[in-house]
Each structure stands twice: as C-alpha cells, then as structure tokens.
Structure 1
C-alpha cells in the first residue's frame, strides 16, 4: 500500500457520509463544547460573585391585617367541615410545624387520605401546590380541600349559610370586605392568612446573608454536601424546593410506602402521561426537622432515614453515616421563626 492510500480511502469513506449527517454531527459537537464552556463560566462566576442556589427567606408581604385575622379564625374553625368535626388546623397545626404528625390525614369518613399533609408554613411563595402540583394558587387549592369528600367534604351553600347565620362572622366580613360572606371573600381570607405564615431568620438565612458565624463547621459541611451532591438542583431557591417536579426513584425505586389508591402514581393521575408516573412536586425543606413523617405518603418518620433514602433513590449514592450526620445538621438550620419566635417541635414527638 502506498503511503497516500489510507488518507485517500478515508476521504472516500468521508465522502460517502451524507452531507446532512456530517453537518448534524458537527453542530452537536459544537453545541456540546459551547454548553460545557457556558457551564464552566457560570460555575466560575458563581464562585467569584458568591451566588448560591439557595436564598434567604424574606418576611411576609404587606397584608390586610383584618383579612389575616379573619382568615386565621376561619382556618381554626370546625365550621368549615361537613360534620363540623375538624378544621384546617387539624391537619396543619401551627404549633407543630404547620402539619399533622401522622403518615396521612383522616378524612370525613374515617379513611386515610392518599397523601401526607405538607406544612402550611411558607406556602404563600410556593408556585406549585399539592404533591402532584395540582394548583398554582392558594385560592384554588383551598376550594378543592373544602369540597373534597375525602377531606373537609362540605359544599359552598352550606359554608355560606353557616357563616351568614353567625352574627360575629357577618360583622367581620362586613368590616373587611363590605358585604356578607361569599365564596370569593372566604377564599381570600383563608389565603391571605396563609400568605402571612412565613418563617424567616433561620440560622441558614443569617449565614447566607453574610453572617459566617451563624453555622457550625458541621452545618457548613452539610451545606457543601447538599450542593456538591446535587440536592440543590431540585431543592433550590428561597423555599429550598416547592416549585418543580421530579420522579421519586431516579436511580432505584424507593422502599415500598403505604399509599392507598392512586397515591403513588403522582402527576400521572392528572396528565395521563406514562412519563409522569411517580413524578411529584419537590417539597420545600424549610422547617423540615419539624414536618415529619416524610415523602408523599409519610412512609418515614426519621429524617436521617429519609436522607439515606434520598441519597440512594435520587442521587445514586449510598451516603455514609458522617455524610448523613452533616446533611441532617444542615437541614436543621432551615428552621425559622414565626411571629418572632423560633419554631419548636413542641408536640411532634407524641404523634409518632
């Protein structure tokens, strides 16, 4: 073979490759190089200017204090349930992390609901509400909960009639809204109160705002792991989650839970897209040490166990005991203050 044969043969093979395919491969290669370059630049810039995947939680916005007070009263009143035997506060106890420390709440007919009750704290700044992300407004979610036969099980005529027969409520609605109780005003009062339930000034908030001494060495290490291992890619922003979807079980299926009915199907029950089976809204990790049991069906009561499960199922990584300890320490720094006092697990232990 002559020395020039191989290059000629290669050129002949190259010439037999369709032009569109050569162009497509070249564009793919260029796109990959550009993507890597942009990622590297972004990472460098983030390191230089101090940007973080998480942000401090801000105080609640300016709200009508009269509407907040009325909403708080409604939130804790059994008058909103069909049998008048439970209130919103039953499942979202503000003295206990804004949730109920059972795997899943019990509805009007004594049956366990398909999903764990998420905390109501900081719910006003979460875009996607409900474990399946059913709702994008508190008003629509509140209406669904009130009318759901498996939860409050009431109807609008009943709610409006009960409140209209109550002189104290009619006077309060007249003062706040200028008219008698109706659907719009009831939902507005409930939602306004919920928007006031913000828990800022956690140790992590102070740290991310510039107070380097707010966290211990172990807590800082936990935050480093949280970022380096990719937890912050889903649990991001000021709420440390709450605004995107992810499959529960990316690398391996998590241990079997206790859901009933279609609870494990996730967004599939809404979209009917097979790709959405097992896809849920990523929950906020704010105050997470106080909001167990964990996951959509409340299958785990211990936060360390939940961390270990997330490592294997979501990260494809078996976390060591030291890593779990550090991550747990970091997550506990996300516990904030409500009305100027740090949230405490005052009654959680007795519920497990």
Structure 2
C-alpha cells in the first residue's frame, strides 16, 4: 500500500469525523436558546433560536434601550428629517402595515417617484446588507442615504439639527440619553436603535420549526415540503428567509421582461457578472408587503411564486403547488414587534 494512498484515506476519514462532529453539535443545539449580542452600538440583545432546518426561527428581542428606541421611533415618524417637512421614514415604511408602503415605488419630496420598491423595515437588522443592491453594509450606513437622497427626503444634517433643536420635546429626549444632545451621530444611533428592535414575533412558521406541528395547517405543511424539496430554500433560508445573499433575478430567457428594467448591482459595481443581480429579499411578512420584486411590478403572491419557480428553478408549477406554497407564505407573517407597543 503506497504512502500516498494512506494519506488520502486518512484525510477522508478525518473529513468524515469532522462532518459527524458538526452534525452532533447541531443536533445537541436543536431548539436551544442562545444568548447573542447582535448590535453593539444600540444595546439590543437577542436570544437566538436554532433548529435543524434550512429556515431558522427569528431571534427574540431580549432587551433593548427603551429611551433610545423611543427617540428613534419619534425621529422615524418625523417629517422634520425631510427638506420640506412632508416626508418621514414612516412615509415609505408604514409600521402598522407590513413595514413598507404598498406602492410599486415610493413617493418622495415634491411628489418625486423613487426607482425601486421600498422593502419592509421589519427584521431588516438581520439582512446581511441593506438596499436592493446591497450598497450599505448595515443600518448605520443605510440611515443617512434616504435623508440625503434628493428624490426621497432631500435634506442635510445641518438643517435637520437646526429644526430638531427648535423642538423642546426632541431637545429634552436627546439630552436624556446623551450629554451631547442633538447631533448627527445621536440621530443615527436613535433611529438604528429603534429599527434594530423591530423583530416580528410569534409567526406560525417559527412555532412549527420549534416543534408545534399544529401551528401550520395541512396545506401549509404541504407547502413547506414543496418549498424545501423544489429548491426555494436555496435562496430563501436562514432567520430572515432571505436577505443573506445576492442572486440574479433568474434565467434571463425565463423571466418576464418587466423584471429586466433594472441592471441591479451592475450599476454599483460595473461588474458584468452583477447584471440583474439583487439582494434576495426576505420573505418574512411577505403576505403584507405587496407589490413584489425590485420594481413592484407584480401585485400578488401567486404570480410572484410562478415567476420565481420558472425563472429560478425551471419549474412550471401546478395550481395546487402554487396554492400550497402561497398558504405557507401566509404563515411567514408575524405579530408586530414589541417595541411598537412599549
């Protein structure tokens, strides 16, 4: 027996042992709650819940700084952050209706139309990047962009700080959380503290993943089996059921032409491989966030399911398949984040 053969066999055995050890560790962690600090700058702490499945339950907000979050909520809802005092963050991200605005593209100052569909703000802290093209690495970097965008809010920090300092309520709230008072850094910190607390609660899919088999109907369970076996989880998995990778909108010869009106990340990177590539959207609360896709060109879930099945997976789904998967997607809807009630 040659030494080369012995080395090869040894390497293979070590690889098998490593895989088995990882699987054992994963099985030991099933349904285990793990404490994990996600956002250092905002003091938000989550309890992470892990299961052996491609889709993971959302973490639970264990604690957050209520004073910072309340200030952030007030800023989120304030039109003072826009140049003409007509647009707030909540104008495009309705906190009580899915976290988006229900339009194909949003309306900014002077009734200007944006270029892409507004994603939900709920669970956005869990996305690996922000915006459809992923141009911002986190919420801290994302927050200033719509404020400075001339089509969206069209403002600047100097004017915003001046307006906020003229409001005794805001001055009092800022001074209560920071000796520096109203500053650019504190505005961003407060908004991010609020957004980082916006984790949906108690969705049927999470209850099912955590062992409550009756949380999903028979049809929804069929939909879950198809969602996994057909390959939907290739892109839509993890805690946010998406939001954690980039993907081309689909095979260009299989997707409708109205989805090819935007070159996606290519406009940012100028890399030909990024043409028609976008961040995969989260499917959390997807039943509440129509219309769909980067340009909001698809009005209902059943059409979106058929388009993705054909464009990404090469599948022509039956009416029953579509109905089952759509029923599952309804189970991705969670209750409002607790910070909206506190």
For Structure 1 versus Structure 2, the TM-score category normalised by the shorter chain is 0.7 to 0.9
User: After superposition, what is the alpha-carbon deviation per residue over 1:300-322, rounded to whole angstroms, capped at 9, x for unaligned?
Assistant: 11111100101111111111100
- Give aligned pairs, total: 299
Residue in 2 aligned with 1:157? 158
Give the 3 Å change call, closer, same or farther, for CA 129–306 of structure 1 in structure 2.
same
Residue in 2 aligned with 1:336? 334
User: After superposition, what is the alpha-carbon deviation per residue over 1:232-274, rounded to whole angstroms, capped at 9, x for unaligned?
Assistant: 1111101000010000023634213278xxx611111111001
Could you tell me how far 1:279 is from its partner in structure 2?
Answer: 0.1
**Is the radius of gyration larger for structure 1 or structure 2?**
1
**Structure with larger RCO (C-alpha < 8 A, sep 6+):** 1
Give the 3 Å change call, closer, same or farther, for CA 236–315 of structure 1 in structure 2.
same
Residue in 1 aligned with 2:321? 323
Residue in 1 aligned with 2:59? 58
2:298 corresponds, among 291, 297, 300, to 300
Q: What 5-or-longer segments of structure 1 have no aligned partner?
A: 1-29, 342-352
Alignment check: 8 A CA contact 1:251 1:314 kept? no
Cα separation, 2, equivalents of 1:82 and 1:304 = 39
Question: Superposition pairs for residues 1-352 of structure 1, below 5 Å?
Answer: 49=27, 51-250=52-251, 252-257=253-258, 264-339=262-337
Could you tell me how far 1:79 is from its partner in structure 2?
Answer: 0.6
Alignment check: 8 A CA contact 2:128 2:138 kept? yes
Cα separation, 2, equivalents of 1:258 and 1:129 = 20
Q: Which stretch has the larger CA shift, 59-68 or 279-288? A: 59-68
Task: Give the superposed CA RMSD.
Answer: 2.2
Cα separation, 1, equivalents of 2:200 and 2:97 = 13
Cα separation, 1, equivalents of 2:170 and 2:122 = 25
Could you tell me how far 1:178 is from its partner in structure 2?
Answer: 1.8
The structure where strand makes up a greater share of residues is 2
Q: What 5-or-longer segments of structure 2 have no aligned partner?
A: 1-7, 28-50
Cα separation, 1, equivalents of 2:86 and 2:259 = 25
Cα separation, 2, equivalents of 1:248 and 1:238 = 21
- 3-state SS of the aligned residue for 1:95? coil
Residue in 2 aligned with 1:12? none
TM-score (norm 2): 0.83
TM-score (norm 1): 0.81
Cα separation, 2, equivalents of 1:96 and 1:54 = 24
Alignment check: 8 A CA contact 1:251 1:316 kept? no
Residue in 1 aligned with 2:3? none
Could you tell me how far 1:99 is from its partner in structure 2?
Answer: 0.5
Cα separation, 2, equivalents of 1:327 and 1:339 = 25
User: After superposition, what is the alpha-carbon deviation per residue over 1:46-89, rounded to whole angstroms, capped at 9, x for unaligned?
Assistant: 9x957210111122242110001000001111111111011111
